Chains A and B, each alone.
Chain A
């Protein structure tokens, strides 16, 4: 499948990869440059492959409250929540953003591209409340404009006061050139900025306007290193149907006191029995790059395994998310097995690097650290 911006990616010379059936740009100029552009200035990502599911009707709040882990029924119009769909066992079917749109009971669920059909089917199969559920993914293009200058670029290009919109808030914005946009103060980079939902027909014009406004085109490669630097989990890698939000340390997005919801009793049971593993940050102090599946050792004993790994373009250190035995302290030394070598590492609570950096600020790279 191709997003409405595919021809733009080709025009810009992007390296294209298959991402869950989508032909997506992995980079244009290079992952490192794009990563640093977002940390220092602003980058724009085509995230039109993400799924959009609209849930509405007077029973939509009670339905979503039962199907997600947060108190969706208490959301005001124009707010956004990060939450989960869980299965009966408390495993994560998907992580998603719920936006409450204008209108009486109208919610936009932004879900992972790979899970779009699964999520829709899961919601439909459990729709005892008779809410109206629609897979509206084909009606939306989505751009993520991220970085310390992103809100300024949004204002210059669209006339929208993005700095005036609070984080985790969303606003509809009518433009002459691109029609109605939904602008959300959210993102997956930690660097600030907005995510913009637009009519697919308007996507190319909007994308070009943001490039002209000074945003660097960024691919999925930088999207991955940026989120990993912040310690944000990726569904399918760090969180799956076999892991719970409690194991992933994402308790902030679980409201156990709001009443019953899918997976709640399993989470309570897990709390009673104790959490056997915790998703943790690991920084490699030796030279080398951890990868998914690498085993983590402490004093010769296996204490966990890496679920995502890369190298931070900012610090030059290898970084990983790994499920580890609980009870390991910040800074505690570990070894990560990378191919035939044991690399000295330490427990490090993310972020692995600052979310934004000043232009000209020194980076810690392999050569200088």
Chain B
């Protein structure tokens, strides 16, 4: 099964993605991350209004087998939280770039495009290939 890496998104080494929309960044975990975690049973996110720096924990994702932190790809304030994940954490497995999004962050400054360590789709694909070796 090929890992989905949509163009136009920004990616982190910890396997989060960010999509810039109207000066805000919508954030989730990548297809590779959801596949590695397996069946997700619980998602816990920082509430709206929380201020985060790049690399701060946004919450935890728990699968049957493992627990994993989600780190913020960008600094700013959590503007929106996907409350759907409360009742349907499996959305992260089913549609990680769509209905399985986690938070929207009102970022400061230039946003993820200029954040250190952030990759575009091609660079992330290369990173995954290297990680697999």
Contact = CB atoms under 8 A, between A and B. Distances in A.
Q: In terms of DSSP, what is the predominant structure of the interface of chain B? A: mixed
B62 to A, nearest CB: 5
A30 B39 contact: yes
A149 B42 CA distance: 31
Given A221-B64, A366-B86, A366-B89, A289 B38 contact: no
Contact of B64 (A15, A31, A368): A31
B67 interface: yes
A289 B1 contact: no
Sort chain B's interface into a size bin. 10 to 19
A214 interface: no
A367 B88 contact: yes
A316 B67 CA distance: 16
B64 A225 contact: yes
Contact of B87 (A15, A27, A32, A366): A366
Given A13-B1, A366-B86, A367-B88, A26 B41 contact: no
Contact of A311 (B35, B64, B93): B64
A326 interface: no
Contacts of A287: 42
A339 B39 CA distance: 20
Contacts of A289: 41-42, 62, 67
B67 A32 contact: no
B39 A31 contact: yes
A306 B64 CA distance: 16
Contacts of A366: 41-42, 86-89
A187 interface: no
A291 B38 contact: no
A288 interface: yes
B64 A32 contact: yes
Interface in A15-63: 15, 26-27, 30-32
14 contacts: A15-B38, A26-B65, A31-B65, A221-B38, A221-B64, A287-B42, A288-B44, A288-B62, A291-B67, A310-B64, A366-B86, A366-B87, A366-B88, A367-B87
Interface of B: 1, 35, 38-39, 41-42, 44, 60, 62, 64-65, 67, 86-90, 93
